[in-house]
Amino acid sequence: MLCAGLLPCAVRAQPCVPDTTPDWTMSTASSAPVRPADCAVVEQTPPDLSWPDLSPDAQYQLVLTYPDGSFRSVTVTHNWINWDEVLPAGRYTWQVQVSNASGTWNSNPRRFTVAANAVAFVVPDWSILFQRTAAKAHPRALPDAATLAAMLEQRQVGLTLLVQDVNRRLADAVPPDPTTAAKDTIELESLAACTQALNAAFAWVATRDGTYLADAMRRGLSLASWDPHGTTSYANADQASRLIAWTLTLIYDWLWPNLDDNQRNQLLAAILARATDIYNDIIGARARVAIHPYDSHGNHTLTYLAVISVLLAGDVAEAQFGLRDALPLALHWTSPWGGEDGGFANGTFQGGWDTDENLLPWYALRWAVDVDIAQKAWVRNHARYLAYFVPPGTPAGSFGDGAEQRLTELWARFGKAYTAFAPSPLGRWYAAQLAGEDQSRLELLLAPLADLGPAPYPSDTPDAMLFASIGWVAMHSNLADPARTSVYFKSSPYGSYNHSHADQNSFVINAGGERLAIGSGYYDGYQTPHWWQWYKETRAHNAITYDGGQGQVVFEQVGKVGAGAIAGYVHQADHDIAQGDAFEAYGNPPGGQATRSLVYLRPNHVLVYDKLAAGAPMQWEWNIHALNLINAISDQQISITNNGMSLCVDMLAAPPIRFTQTDSFTADPIGNQPRQWHGTFYSVDRLGSTEFIALLRVGCAATTASAAKVADIWTVDVGTRRVTIDGSGTITVQ
């Protein structure tokens, strides 16, 4: 009786313990992950099934065992499968056998549980998708006429702004094919030309004014005349080339009934030239982007190629092969930067741009091929990530390249467009709090019809959340309050890869809409001197360094990810505990230890406990960064202020230490950027191991606090609260 409507009693009675025994699927830095992980509970049925690609000649047999003991096997030549049936709730086991010229090996059996509330997302066979879209008349990348009319009626302000912009440019000459060698300039010029062409095309779609049709045609044919193997070639400027191909495809599709054969052929020739280069790079004989999905350009380009193939299906022979090879893979990955929890490990800045740029292709998939990617677990749950890591009123992002920027317009634009596409109670509340978006942008004008009714804050929303797939934790005093205190902690399996930094076990603190404990530096470009010598490094973050700023490994320097791991997480109404292990991030030193526990005592106290060890004595450094000069009260106490908000740091327990600060970077950022202040509590003596216990007081209200250690157990009193930390790192809060 107690098991009715739930998972089988046997599943509940036998907790799953992940098997960590190494096997042939052990992944490298950029190889595909094993999904689902052993003991995972999945919210999507069927789940995404993937594993690393062992060799170019490898063939795989996947065996799936069902809850009743029956099984089914599938053989493929690639390292992923879109399982073709909805899997009912229950526990499953899967195993992959690989065969190549060197032999045959079996992976460990891995278990996953399909949750009772899992949402179905089945990808039909590519041939069905091809027939489905080829049977549709152009335009395919638009909703039906009645729906489009209703969308435009709801968005008259944005449509008026777009038409006004097109009108201002009617007499302008079309932009020429860029001649500069500077990649950034090429991409900016291409973006401007593509935006103007698409806006003109959409003005025609929305108004049927022939003036806009003529303008869209001249701009589109001009873009088509740009040399696909010149400065905007895929080899020279991949983002520019894919955008041009995508723009020309939409113009071809939207204007198709009004184009003559010559105009269609000009557009198709340019599209195919660019799309062929894309296909050869990311698909080829064995899809590179499946083998190495953590390619921030390649995976995004995959979605463009897939949708271009959808929109051209039946018109050119090449579209059939592009759809066959790119669409199922694009639907499989969606985003490789997080799991079903909706997280995005490659940074809040990059995540915003990636999601925003994906929206138009996602809309087109829904309209043209009847595949609703909003039902994928990552897409459905991405609103959680947005709400927790770029909450309404936040002064900046959280982690990664560009996290220091306040992207008010972008957050509002894609937050509202994404929520219209994949609505949820939390997402609708989140979008309703945002303002300042450019309403003329196509991702907003073409977003699905939005529910304009009240969007209350969901009463069951916790104030903290762990995103286990990316190793990020967000803890807020009150998520619904724009004046909240926000504490972010990171110890990520993605380590310092790509746009992530060498900042495992680091934290960021904001309060009252202001930045207090910051991730320092500026994103002045990818792999600039400032990026290499400061911004990406551990010393630029609120993390532990040693011997004059040495820290964690940087992937681009040594080829190692330098992963962190969330070792524990507890959420309670009055406190949160996040624990991280950054041992691997520091290069696995013999005899080393690098654990940090962060206890957030709501609303305004944060306790940080570090336990550190190395195989040789060294000087340990506890770093904290601020926008303004830090007030050094003593070598054990400092305070930070910013626009009326404050943060005090009391070092309650530590070896003999000194405090120092500087406003210098090891390499200055490009441009006239404001100085920042970098504070360090450093050990006076060189030690083989040590511990730090720091109390951070948001608002700096006077608080009685102390830390004492007896028989390997720390007792830390903060006002009326008591925190105990035993020798194994277990924390209790009273």
Return the closest-CA partner of residue 86 out of 29, 36, 134, 124. 124
Distance between CA atoms of residues 93 and 430, nearest Å: 38
Instruction: Give tens-digit pLDDT for 276-292.
Output: 999 999 999 999 999 99
Question: Domain locations in the chain?
Answer: 9-120, 123-333, 341-456, 464-704
DSSP string, 433-452: T-----TTSHHHHTSPPP--
Strand partners, 104: 99
Q: Which superfamily does 9-120 belong to?
A: Immunoglobulins (2.60.40.10)
CB 349 within 8 A of CB 498: no
Band of residue 4 on the pLDDT scale cut at 50, 70, 90: very low
Say if residue 349 is exposed, middle or buried (CB neighbours under 10 Å; 0-12, 13-18, 19+).
buried
pTM of the model: 0.95
Least confidently predicted of 253-262, 451-460, 467-476, 653-662? 451-460
Exposure string for 160-199, b = 16+ CB within 10 A, e = fewer: ebbbeebeeeeeeebbebbeeeeeeebbebbeebbebbbb
Query: Which amino acid does the sequence have at 80?
Result: W
Tell me which fold the domain 123-333 belongs to. Answer: Glycosyltransferase (1.50.10)
403-415 tens-digit pLDDT: 999 999 999 999 9
DSSP category for residue 88: P
Of 108, 98, 107, residue with least CA distance to 57:
98
HSE (side-chain half, CA atoms, 13 Å) at 269: 14
**Per-residue pLDDT at 3 exceeds 50:** no
**What is the Cα–Cα distance from 686 to 690, expressed in whole angstroms?**
10
- Cα three-residue angle 278-279-283, rounded to 5 degrees: 120
| Architecture category of domain 464-704 in CATH | Distorted Sandwich (2.70)
N-terminal to C-terminal alpha carbon distance within the chain: 37
Rounded-to-integer distance, Cα 617 and Cα 547, Å: 10
Mean pLDDT of 714-723: 98
Coil/strand/helix, residue 278: helix
Arithmetic mean of pLDDT, 439-464: 95
How do residues 161-197 score in pLDDT, each as one tens digit?
999 999 999 999 999 999 988 888 999 999 999 999 9
Average model confidence (pLDDT) for the chain?
A: 96
Other C-beta atoms closer than 10 Å to the C-beta of 447 total: 23
Instruction: Bin 399: left if φ > 0, else alpha if -120 < ψ < 50, else beta.
Output: beta
- CA distances for 572 relative to 242, 475, 601, angstroms: 47, 11, 10
Over residues 651-709, the pLDDT tens digits come to: 999 999 999 999 999 999 999 999 999 999 999 999 999 999 999 999 999 999 999 99
Phi, psi (deg, nearest 5) at residue 162: -65, -45
In angstroms, the CA 299 to CA 274 distance is 16
Say how far residue 544 (Cα) sits from the centre of its chain: 25
